[in-house]
């Protein structure tokens, strides 16, 4: 038998371990949060102050005032909201119906279709870019927000379908059988029995889809030609200073902070909604 230390030694080891854990957590937190903090700091400083080093923000809001008086940026903000909301809604609507089909209605081609859906998300965006450009042309959507709504579906639909399919598969089949005996149609089962139970999954996948659409850059840059149709990521990229050779760091950071805030708020709201164990009580337990 290995030697046993005294009780006090084990107590010390346990304390050291918990101290070590919190230190490791602190390191990770700093690593993750510092860029965002640095963006806030930079956004509150004037063009001259930016080149002097300080870790503290200097509460100078001129960058924000300048940003919100910029009509192109405000327009881009509105475009982003419309595009991200629309593509998220469509992705969820199609994703829920597809997930019900894949998860519950057993048909021969189902497995292969599901794998095909997954394959779509394997291709990098650059690969589909030129093909997508053709499709947008045929649909006569070039240089309109509709082009982005359509093209973002290729990014959001595969994972919404997959996440929702696996969620539906985990719901007890008996619930649906009970609903069938209660006289429900397939649609009523979906709307009255499954959807209320799927809220946590819908909220989380919807949020992911929204973030993806909100931050997307490549399609937004390629399919939009004029300033009034741009979305925020591209608009930020094209912000210019007073001269060609000046990079307006303060303004860029103010814009970045502004567009990240709504996402943070959304994540915090939905995080509380995503309650685990909503289905407890449906089946034995």
User: Interface with another protein by CB under 8 A: which residues?
Assistant: 172, 174-175, 177-184, 188, 192-193, 196-197, 278-285
Shortest CB 110 distance to another protein, Å:
16
Question: What b/e sequence results for 159-193 when a residue is b if at least 16 CB atoms lie within 10 Å of its CB, and e otherwise?
Answer: bbbbbbbebbeebeeebbeebeeeebeeeebbeeb
Shortest CB 79 distance to another protein, Å:
37
Shortest CB 173 distance to another protein, Å:
9
Nearer to another protein, 197 or 263 (CB): 197
Nearer to another protein, 117 or 179 (CB): 179
Backbone angles phi, psi at 283, to 5 degrees: -115, 180
Residue 36 CB neighbours (<10 A): 13
Contact residues for 49 (Cβ-Cβ < 8 A; gap 6+): 58, 60
Cα 141 to Cα 94: distance, rounded to the nearest angstrom: 21
Shortest CB 276 distance to another protein, Å:
13
Shortest CB 99 distance to another protein, Å:
18
Cα 166 to Cα 122: distance, rounded to the nearest angstrom: 19
Cα–chain center distance at 68: 24
User: Which helix or strand (DSSP H or E) is residue 32 part of?
Assistant: helix 7-43
Tokens of 183: 């006289």
Nearer to another protein, 85 or 197 (CB): 197
Shortest CB 116 distance to another protein, Å:
24
Nearer to another protein, 30 or 275 (CB): 275
Tokens 């909604």 belong to which residue?
273
Nearer to another protein, 208 or 282 (CB): 282
- 56 near 173, Cβ under 8 Å? no
Nearer to another protein, 17 or 106 (CB): 106
């Amino acid at each position: 038998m290995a030697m046993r230390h005294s009780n006090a030694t084990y107590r010390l080891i346990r304390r050291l371990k918990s101290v070590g854990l919190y230190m490791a957590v602190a390191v990770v937190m700093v690593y993750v949060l510092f860029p965002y903090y640095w963006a806030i700091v930079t956004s509150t400083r004037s063009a001259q102050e930016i080149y002097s080093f300080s870790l503290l923000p200097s509460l100078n809001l001129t960058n924000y005032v300048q940003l919100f008086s910029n009509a192109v940026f405000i327009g881009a903000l509105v475009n982003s909201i419309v595009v991200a909301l629309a593509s998220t809604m469509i992705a969820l609507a199609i994703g829920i119906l597809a997930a019900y089909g894949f998860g519950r209605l057993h048909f021969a081609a189902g497995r292969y279709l599901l794998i095909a859906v997954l394959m779509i998300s394997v291709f990098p965006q650059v690969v589909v870019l030129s093909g997508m450009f053709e499709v947008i042309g045929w649909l006569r959507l070039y240089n309109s927000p509709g082009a982005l709504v359509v093209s973002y579906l290729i990014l959001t639909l595969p994972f919404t379908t997959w996440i929702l399919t696996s969620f539906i598969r985990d719901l007890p089949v008996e619930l649906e059988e009970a609903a069938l005996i209660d006289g429900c149609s397939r649609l009523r089962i979906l709307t009255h029995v499954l959807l209320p139970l799927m809220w946590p999954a819908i909220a989380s996948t919807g949020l992911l889809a929204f973030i993806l659409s909100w931050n997307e850059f490549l399609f937004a840059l390629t399919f939009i030609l004029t300033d009034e149709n741009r979305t925020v990521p591209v608009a930020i990229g094209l912000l210019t200073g007073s001269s060609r050779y000046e990079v307006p760091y303060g303004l860029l950071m103010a814009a970045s902070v502004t567009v990240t805030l709504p996402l943070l708020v959304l994540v915090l709201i939905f995080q509380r909604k995503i309650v685990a164990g909503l289905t407890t009580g449906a089946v034995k337990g």
